[in-house]
Amino acid sequence: MSPAPIIGGLALQGDVREHARMLEQLGVRVRLVRTPAELAEVDALVLPGGESSTIDKLSRIFEVTEPIRARIAKGMPVLGTCAGLILLADRITDAAPGQQTFGGLDVTVQRNAFGSQLDSFEAEVASPIEGEEPATVAFIRAPIVVEVGERAEALASVTGDRVVAVRQDNLLGISFHPEVTGDTSWHRHFLELVEEAR
């Protein structure tokens, strides 16, 4: 029997520890990633919520931007939540000056699409796992996907047609924070992608 996968959490800024706790509860090993050497030791990566432009800048300072892009190109599974979705997107409509992404998801995102921190809210979102009921998740300065390219697939939306979850191959990007409300379905779905990739 192969050992449990090692899931990395990009630990430069944001709520990576909440993701780590949830993943550990699901029985996988978690390693915080800040350097190219630490990235090389993981099977998959979580890009947490936080401030996407700050994570971008710190990723370049810590010299992990290009290694992450290279691993994504080779098929490494990545879960991006909130700011992490922005970092996975190929295009941003309202990027901060000089802001870059790791890319890989054929989508266009709009940052802070629901407003400021004061406009944060909870909503039910359809589960990615067939047969499971929708669960409550938190939207905190959340982005939305304003365009889903041909290579990506929309998985969930809220308030009509506002796309908040997308998948493309081994990449899973979501606008919200399931780790805040305790919904494990998106992390379990991500672990299914990790197992398929192994």
What is the set of active-site residues? 82, 177, 179
Q: Is residue 131 classed exposed, middle or buried when 0-12, 13-18 and 19+ CB atoms within 10 A define those classes? A: exposed
Nearest CA among 131, 127, 179, 171 for reference residue 153: 171
Asked whether the CA dihedral 186, 190, 193, 195 is positive or negative, the reply is: negative
Question: Which tokens belong to 40?
Answer: 């090389």
Q: Are 173 and 91 within 8 A, CB to CB?
A: no
